[in-house]
Amino acid sequence: MKTTFRTLIAIFAIAIISVSQPFAAYAADQINGQSKADIVKALDEYISDVRETWHIPGLATAFALDGEVILAKGYGVKELGSTEPVTEKSIFQIGSVSKSFTATVMASLVDEGKLSWTDTVKNILPDFKMFDPWVTENMQIKDIMTHKSGINGQVGTYIPNLGYDREDIYKMLARIKPAYSFRGDFRYNNITFIISSKIIEKVTGKSWEENVQERVFDPLGMKGSGVNGEFFKDAKEATTPHSYYFYNDSIYVDALHGEDQALWWLTVIGPAGSVCSSVEDMIKYAEFHRLNGLAGDKRVISEEQVKYLHKGQSISSQYDNKITLYGNCWYVEQNNKYRVYFHTGTTWGMTALCFYVPEIKFSGVILVNCEAGENPRYSIMRRAIDMIMGAPVNKYSDEFADYNSVNFQNWWKENHDWEAAQEPEPEKAPKAAPDSKLLIGKYAKDELFGGAEIFEKDGELYITIGKKGFTNKLNHQDGNTFSFWSDGHEFPINFQLSQNGRKVTGFEVEFNYNEEDYFGGWRKIK
């Protein structure tokens, strides 16, 4: 049930922590001739304003300048309606920022001579198979994490929500037809990172999770961080994810609990998105990358290999005033003022942004416990950079709302089809559903996808599907089309009937990115 936004009590907890000694370039209380205290105060107030304007339940930020953390703080609450504050130690899911952790582990293995960026995947994983035989034989390690595999953007992202694991997804790669030429384009994808985890496990004899712990968390002192859904569920400091949407002149923010948090998906998508951390820990990670492999005085990974991760491999976007490249899990934006390295992250009900700016020795992290979109995060990052550089205050009106004078509704009107949102087309009455007796029974597909069963309980239809045997209620939509929710995601399911309509012959599940075109459906066997 959706509820309207309620006023939040922002309880602040400030923690100033040190990553390393500040450089002599800045006076103790000055930043480019400005009072450090005044800049931090202004930034703190701006972040509070962003949170309140965008109705964000809770967020945390941390910023480091010349190795000194100048602000690490929580804003708002862990869960809407509660009074428990977000702090610098609160745990968030960082989503796709996790990809850079996987790339970092890979770079450390290159450092140790366990593999090379030009090694072919097939040479390490003999069972590796893509749809195109040439790609199978020629894909190299350097191709895996740069989103140029030929697989279309986001294809496969929601398959884990049905109860399939990493090994299942790995085997499904062979069935996904390429949407473009290998290495010929940049299209963001998650499931190719499962290839990375398989390689890491093969050459180390340890899991991806163990490698992240030993090669990143431990040497950087990230003591409060972990991976996968189980860690997040059990973490004492975990914040609650929230859905977030705008409808009928109102913003709706709802806490997600239980299966709506999609924690199984979080675990399976692991190497692409399952790291859970705090700003207290993540600022250490941002500084580690800014310093090209140093954690304090200790070299964890060679400068050569970390710089390789930061090297642009393809153009992800280009405008008159800036160009953005993508490296091994870092975006590299060169605009008309500075160069910023960053990555964003989104999971069910949480968003993140990690960045650093080499020219001004500045880094930061922004973690949010709702899906408010990219604009609040980017606005905070860019305003913070401007403040440190001493640049004139920029409202970023071309890209963002003006958070100090333009309300959320005006931003929505400028960026969406407002008339369509206000005047939806009249709903047509749905066609009648087939007799439930025709749907009940057992269905088969193949060894990889497994079978399925539809049964009736207390007058309602349910489906059991996937390797984990997730069971969920079927909801009628229109005619032969139903839908069901599984691990936080809704899947349409279309039943096929015989020509005379007296028999159900099978069904097809829509995976969100037309994967059913590659995988086909289930046939009724009983």
- Of 426 and 390, the one with more pLDDT: 390
Q: Produce one character per residue of 381-414: b if its CB has 16 or more CB atoms within 10 Å, e if not.
A: bbbbbbbbbeeeebebeeebbebeeeebeebeee
User: CATH second-level architecture of 13-104+206-419?
Assistant: 3-Layer(aba) Sandwich (3.40)
- Of 451 and 422, the one with more pLDDT: 451
Residue 7 confidence (pLDDT) above 50:
no
Count CA within 13 A, CB hemisphere, residue 418.
9
Record: fold of 436-524: Lipocalin (2.40.128)
- Of 209 and 415, the one with more pLDDT: 209
pTM score, whole prediction = 0.90
Burial class (CB in 10 A: 0-12, 13-18, 19+), 349: buried
pLDDT in tens, 475-501: 999 999 999 999 999 999 999 999 888
- Distance, in Å, from the CA atom of 90 to the CA atom of 85, rounded to the nearest integer, reads 9
Residue 392: enclosing H or E segment and its boundaries?
none
In sequence order, what are the beta bridge partners of 329?
Answer: none
Q: Give Cα separations from 349 to 245, 269, 373, 415 (angstroms).
A: 11, 16, 10, 22
For CATH 2.40.128.600, list the domain ranges present in the chain: 436-524
Q: Tokens 């409202």 identify what position?
A: 395
For CATH 3.40.710.10, list the domain ranges present in the chain: 13-104+206-419
Q: Is 481 helix (H, G, I), strand (E, B) or coil?
A: strand
- Distance, in Å, from the CA atom of 275 to the CA atom of 263, rounded to the nearest integer, reads 12
Give the range among 6-10, 78-82, 253-257, 264-268 with minimum mean pLDDT: 6-10
In sequence order, what are the beta bridge partners of 91?
Answer: 238
Residue 230 confidence (pLDDT) above 70:
yes
Q: Produce one character per residue of 210-225: b if its CB has 16 or more CB atoms within 10 Å, e if not.
A: ebbbebbbebbebebb
**pLDDT value at position 401?**
47
Give the range among 43-52, 61-70, 187-196, 276-285 with minimum mean pLDDT: 43-52
